[in-house]
Structure 1
Amino acid sequence: MRDFSSDHSWLSLNTATVRKQGDLLQIIDACARHGIRAIDPWRDQVAAVGLDRAVRAVRDAGLELSGYCRGGMFTSDASRRGEVRDDNRRCVDEAKALGAPCVVLVVGGLPQYSRPGSEASKDIVAARGQIEEALADMLDYAKQAELPLAIEPLHPAYAADRACVNTTKQALDICDRLDPARSGMLGVALDVYHIWWDPELMDQIARAGKDRLLAFHVCDWLVPTRDILNDRGMMGDGVIDIKSARAAVEAQGFAGYSEIEIFSNDWWGRPMDEVLRTCIERHKTVV
């Protein structure tokens, strides 16, 4: 396993971690100040400053990307499926322009939550089928752009509203069906917040192998967790054995960034520089 204790060259900042403290341009400037060399921006943050401006800012700061958040939210009623398709194709185009190595996919839950205004449904089996069908279409488009797609399994608490793909096994089963040749164009983004509890995790990481391990995200699970969405912990403040998870993905050959992604009302209330200094210190000591 790589030694992160002496520097933070393999730290990437998911820009949601400090989204309340500044816009994307301010976050990029802060990363440059702190010697953080990679980011994973969110589409709404890019849209707020404009894609062309975001591309220039990333380039001028000498930053790399560890991913692009997020595509997906595939489930909707029939009248909106063309809209969903077009939106995901735009996501691929944006990621390509920014130089992202992959698009991170949060696949969606029940239609009324994934795409508000859609007809309500409780049929999670149908939702999963629709996700796979829409993902196959997006994969065809992504292949033309040579832009890999990374399915992110989310904790089961998010099955209704954000993602009804909830385990690494589920995500890899989809990869097997849609990309049996293991082309490198479809894989997984593994966030320890969502997968740490899974008794099959280590076996599934081994099953994924290097070609399907496209991104690795870190934060921590607090006890108690006051808000399932916006109370993630800074690494080291919770119960996740982050180093064991990183050792497992690196044993398969993953050599990319450890991306810090923290949705936290607590950390959003602190100055950006304080958050980034803490991320760097925990990256060296905990991750």
Structure 2
Amino acid sequence: MRRPLLLLLTILGLVAGSMPVAAAPAHERVRPLAQAHAHNDYEHPRPLFDALDEGFTSVEADIFLVGTELLVAHDPEDLDPARTLSSLYLDPLRERVIRNHGAVYRGYRGFQLLIDIKTEGESTYAALDALLRDPRYAFLWSSYRYGRVRQGAVTAVVSGNRPCATMTAQPTRVAFYDGRIANTTDLGPGSDARLTPLVSDNWTNLFTWTGIGAMPADQRAKLRDIVGTAHRAGQRVRFWATPDVPGPERDAIWGELVAAGVDHINTDDLKGLADFLREHG
């Protein structure tokens, strides 16, 4: 009886081995781009998935607390009860991390979900904190527990109306604080990367160069000093409001950001940045 069974298993194995294997979806074959940040990601035709298809490792969602729901939109007039933080981001990330055995991109750790609070900070953060800790999603996140940080598949960082004192006082957290570069208590030695692993700011508040001609030496030095100060403190750097119209000025800005080691390069043009980083990153 054993020989026929072994023969049958061998034949089935040979047949299975000769059958074509289905290709992985495009967003699972793409190489992740560590510096690519999708600004206002939810405004793309396929929120999250368009960014994943291009290899983005950081996406941004603006949230409003409406009743008990966290809705995603840029402006109040765009609110839609069907477009929740869970439906657009948390559920798809959950399914993907389960499918990829603990990562958004297989073999890559470090995906960031930047959540920009648009409504009152304390109440919105309380609702967000409860949602992120929900058993459906709790396993996804990098976390802080009694002085120690554990890296998870996704790091949730809170921007916008951030309740700093509340977050600082929490003995355990599943979200982190987006500091401001211009605030000396957020950037570098005056801060704590266990709370503030990311520092961001408006490019036009810190620099006058818009990509026309060479970057002035003093501004280049300032940029690199900011990045160096942040990195020595274990922090990552992002700028928003950088020029984002395709052309040589944008390429010049992006080139300087890459050369300086800026961690998250902000764009609404997913393919444009992905192509640039594959060529120059």
Q: TM-score range by the shorter chain?
A: 0.3 to 0.5
> Which structure dedicates a bigger proportion of its chain to helix?
1
Higher strand share: 2
TM-score (norm 2): 0.44
Report which of the two structures shows the higher radius of gyration computed on alpha carbons: 2
